[in-house]
Structure formats: structure tokens, C-alpha cells
Amino acid sequence: MKDFYLEILHIDKQTGARYGILHTPHGDVEVPMFMPVGTLATVKGLSPEELKSLGTGVILANTYHLSLRPGADLVQKAGGLHKFMNYDGPILTDSGGFQVFSLSENRKITEEGVHFKNHLNGDKLFYTPESVIKIEEKLGADIIMSFDECIPYPVSYEYAKRSTERTIRWAKRGLDAHTRQDQALFGIVQGGEFEDLREMCTRELVKLDFPGYAIGGTSIGEPKDICLKMVDYAVKHLPKDKPRYLMGVGSIDYLLEGIARGIDMFDCVLPTRLARHGALMTSTGRVNILNAKYKDDLTPLDPNCDCYSCKNYTKAYLRHLYVSDEMFGKRLLSIHNIRFLIHVMEGARRAIQEDRFGDYLKLTLSAFGDKRGF
């Protein structure tokens, strides 16, 4: 796929972190990058223009959710996700593997695919590696994901092995089913917490020569050291010239630790979900905007932030909107949290280019703490 490739421009001498440009059919974006999540073809509350003004490159959308509402056929008829949601930058669709996992009470996995019930009305669904690719082709994102099984944590070695082997077979089936030349289909490395399974999965997927690779089965409750080991196990065997995507993490420590290990792409609902709950990531620590001490606080949310919300509004106003359940409050808080993470990523990219990413990581984590969920 000639329109899609990663151009590595610099490797940080302190850590091996990568800086580069990801070329996509909908434009070039810098990596490492954080990708905001727009589950239902909308990053909750924000316009595409706002997202771009925050420095957003790729945004995510969810295959599972969109196939239920409004349906992949409609999105296709509308000219694909880009036109449907008015975002002309690159879009990535996940495969629904994680959603099937999170609906696990109702799922039954066979070699052919997964039977499960949808969360809206309980209707029975059957996803196969081929059917998921067909949906993703209709949605028309630039980057699409293989259908995988997200392995629970903790899990037995035997279960993980059986599941990982099946995920590899599914990846092959998805690749065979995929026909659109303007989409990059990524393979997803599974294998649980087991080094040999992660290695085996990575090696087998690399043989299939995907244009990019994700590390999956992360951010599902495993401790951070386990998650980072999973990354190490996979990265070791991944090709250097292909993009690497660590799925579902969005706290600063994970982002920076991931970058240090050679990861290029991250996604998470964390910044927008936290914002909707009034929890803000700031350069001076976490802010819960509901806290009574902000009632009369006429300073910006984050004095070091350049976002629209911080430049134009006070904590007192943001708290007032939040307390009054005003839509505009959630919008302003979401803008800030997304900008905050993108700002940290911009700093990371500069640090890599200047061979000081190790220092940047240490400084940033000591300033913001090393707590998940920040």
C-alpha cells in the first residue's frame, strides 16, 4: 500500500524511542501520537475542526458500535466515515475484539468466530474475522484492525496459547478477506503475559507482512509492569519500519513508557471520559473541578496549557458549567484533557528529536506522578 508507510526520522539516543511521520491516504501525521476516541463517529462533544486545532492526527472509531448504530451500510452509502463525520484527517477503526471481550458474559468463541449478544437490545450477533473486515471496509477508515480475541487477565497458559494460536489464524483469514487497497490492515499481537506466546504471535504476524502492528490484550486490568513486559516481548520481534500501536492506554506514564519502548501510536477514552466526570489532567496535578475550593477560583485550569478552555475560561466558570450540568462545560473540559495529552506527546516528539527522551520521561513522570489514570 504505497499511500501508507511510516517514515522514521530520528531514534532517541537515550532510549531508542522513535520520531517519524506516518503517511496515510488522509494526510501525514507525526508519531509518537495519541489518538482520541470517537466511538460513534464523534469524539464526544467536539467538532472535527476543534480536534484538529488541538493537534489531533488520527482519530479512532469503533467497528462494533458503528455496525449497530447507524450501521455500516449507511456509513458506506454516505461515502465512508470521513464524509459521514466530516473528518478529513486519518481515521482508525478497531475490530470489535475488545468490545466482544467486554461483553464476555454473553460470548461464545468458536474457531469460526464469536457468537454474542449486542449491548443495546440483546440481539444475537456472530462476528468472524472475515465479517469484521467487511464491516471495516464499508466504514472506510485509513487504518483497520484484525479481529482478535482479547485474552482476559489473569489467565492460564493453556488458554492463552489456544487463544493466541486462533488469533493468528484469524489474522490470516482477515488479511485474505481484505480487498481495499486504500486501507492499512494492522495485525494485533496477543499472547497474554507469556513471553514465548507474545514472541510466537509476533513472529507469525510478521510473516504475514502487515503494514502495521498493534499490541493488544493490554489495559484490561493487568498491573503496569506486566503491561510493559508485554510490550517488550512483542517489540523485540517487530520490524523497525512498521508502525507500532499500543492499544487502549492513555495515562501519561503508559504513554511515555510505551514511547521509550518504541511505540508510535496510542488510543484511549481516558481523557474524554475523565473530562465528562469533571476530572482534569493538568501540569500542576489532577483537578477535580467539582471540588468546592474551585468555586471562586478565577485562574485557568492549567496555567501552562495553551488550549481554548485554559486561554478563555476560569476554573470558577468551568465548575459553574459542570455543576449546572451544562453541555458546554463537558466540551471545554474534554478540549483541555485531549490537548493536555497531545501537548505531552508534542514534548515527547521534540525530546526524541533532541536525544533527550529519557530525561523528558523522568522529568514528566516525577512532575505528574506515576499513577495510572492521571
Site residues (vs its own copies, CB under 8 A): 40-42, 44-47, 69-70, 74, 77-78, 84-86, 295-296, 298, 308, 312-314, 316-317, 319-321, 323-324, 326-331
- Nearer Cβ to its own copies, position 82 or 173? 82
Q: How far is the CB of 329 from its own copies (least distance, A)?
A: 8
- Nearer Cβ to its own copies, position 17 or 275? 275
* 94 is known as an active-site residue: yes
Q: How far is the CB of 219 from its own copies (least distance, A)?
A: 24
* 267 is known as an active-site residue: yes
Here the cell at position 244 is 507500532
- Nearer Cβ to its own copies, position 85 or 214? 85
Q: How far is the CB of 140 from its own copies (least distance, A)?
A: 14
**Those residues with Cβ within 8 angstroms of residue 332's Cβ, 6 or more apart along the chain or in another chain:** 308, 309, 313, 318, 321
- Nearer Cβ to its own copies, position 88 or 112? 88
Q: How far is the CB of 15 from its own copies (least distance, A)?
A: 38
Q: How far is the CB of 71 from its own copies (least distance, A)?
A: 9
- Nearer Cβ to its own copies, position 112 or 326? 326
Q: Which of 12, 94, 253, 264 is catalytic?
A: 94
Q: Which of 12, 142, 148, 267 is catalytic?
A: 267
Phi/psi at 220 (nearest 5 deg)?
Answer: -125, 30
Closest to 309 (Cα-Cα) out of 336, 344, 285, 281: 336
Q: How far is the CB of 181 from its own copies (least distance, A)?
A: 25
- Nearer Cβ to its own copies, position 28 or 88? 88
Catalytic residue set: 94, 267
